[in-house]
Amino acid sequence: MAFAIMRAKKLKTMANVTASLNHCYRERETMNADAERTPENEHRAAESTAEATTKLKAILPSKRRKDAVLAIEYVLTASPEWWVTASGAEQQQFFDASEKWLADKYGQQNIITATIHRDETSPHLSAFVAPVTQDGRLSAKDFIGNKSKMSKDQTSFACVVQHLGLERGIEGSKATHQSIKKHYAAIQKSEEQVVIVSPESVEPKVLKKGVFSKTVESSAHVASRLTEAVKDGYQEVVANASVALQDRKRLADLTMTMENQRNELKRAHSPFQGLTKNQIRNLLEQAEALKKENEISKSQSVSKRFREGNEL
């Protein structure tokens, strides 16, 4: 049982957008990515952070609230086990359908970039969109809205990839990806997943080098970079934990359904308890005969009304 997975993250500042794009384009250290496979990644709409941010600034309306969401980052993927058996053509269909879903929702012109990451354990589409409405307003609320609207988006996205054998996660399940941070405490205790921070990664990086001076990262920027890298390192465990919780919820739902059906069968059989097989057979034959009599009577009644109508 494989699930369609969709996560959305609001980005309210250009600093947030830039940091996420740096990760998207592997312009900063990404611990959970295989550097040898990074050239297999596919960038659509923009080829770099600089190009993507320039495109975003051109789209954003000049008049907007200070706390407005500038962009929404989407991660569109499937359960890890699906990628193991999916053919290359099926994977391409998944990415094309995912991008089209975003284009239909936001408009192709508002897709800042869409990158296919193949250098991580589970391939996925990482996309950035500007929540600009048709009348030119910047409003993430119009697109994402509340939990109910997000739930509908989950269903809508699952529908466009269901032909690939993917299902929607259990509706209303607490194992949704919007609440995935709730599982970090347990995940960080995992003995199988270890993220190593090297001494080199702690050193501030040179951001800009001049002839007589250079600009290096601040301690806050280093801390933010390492925090993001650690989160990325646990991404696969988080996804697996979410899928496992959904499977358990699905099993519980199926168990309850079977129990309800069993009770219905008991109620249906209760009138026949204590009767012999012959007695049950006779009752069923009588019931069938009465059913036929009712059908004949109903047919005769309809014919009679039809004749009376014609006589009038």
The per-residue pLDDT for range 240-280, each reduced to its tens digit, is 565 566 566 666 666 676 676 677 767 777 777 778 878 87
CA distances from 168 to 2, 149, 243, 258 (A): 9, 15, 11, 21
Check residue 249 and give its pLDDT. 63
CA distance 273 to 120: 61
The amino acid sitting at 251 is L
Check residue 174 and give its pLDDT. 47
Q: Where are the alpha helices (DSSP H) in the chain?
A: 14-24, 49-59, 80-85, 88-106, 140-143, 147-161, 184-187, 199-202, 219-233, 235-269, 277-311
Inter-residue contact 183 to 238 (CB < 8 Å): yes
pLDDT digits (tens, 9 = 90+) for 120-159: 888 999 999 999 999 899 999 999 888 888 889 999 999 9
pLDDT digits (tens, 9 = 90+) for 28-78: 888 878 888 999 999 988 899 999 999 999 999 988 888 899 999 999 999
Check residue 22 and give its pLDDT. 92
Name the nearest CA neighbour of 79 among 168, 181, 184: 168
181 pLDDT tier (thresholds 50, 70, 90) = very low
Check residue 165 and give its pLDDT. 92
Domain boundaries, the chain: 2-168, 274-312
pLDDT digits (tens, 9 = 90+) for 9-30: 999 999 999 999 999 999 988 8
Per DSSP, the three-state class of 68 is coil
Inter-residue contact 187 to 241 (CB < 8 Å): yes
**How many Å separate Cα 235 from the centre of its chain?**
14
Inter-axis angle of helices 14-24 and 49-59, nearest 10: 140
pLDDT digits (tens, 9 = 90+) for 119-130: 988 899 999 999
Burial class (CB in 10 A: 0-12, 13-18, 19+), 222: middle
pLDDT digits (tens, 9 = 90+) for 188-240: 444 445 566 677 777 777 766 766 667 777 888 878 777 777 766 665 565 55
286 pLDDT tier (thresholds 50, 70, 90) = confident
Residue entry with tokens 């014609």: 310
Name the nearest CA neighbour of 242 among 128, 147, 160, 122: 122
Check residue 231 and give its pLDDT. 66
175 pLDDT tier (thresholds 50, 70, 90) = very low
Name the nearest CA neighbour of 77 among 124, 33, 112, 113: 124
The amino acid sitting at 23 is H
Higher pLDDT, 287 or 99: 99
Check residue 87 and give its pLDDT. 92
Check residue 14 and give its pLDDT. 92
Q: Which two tokens stand for residue 74?
A: 């989407």
Q: What is the CATH number of domain 2-168?
A: 3.30.930.30
CA distance 124 to 119: 10
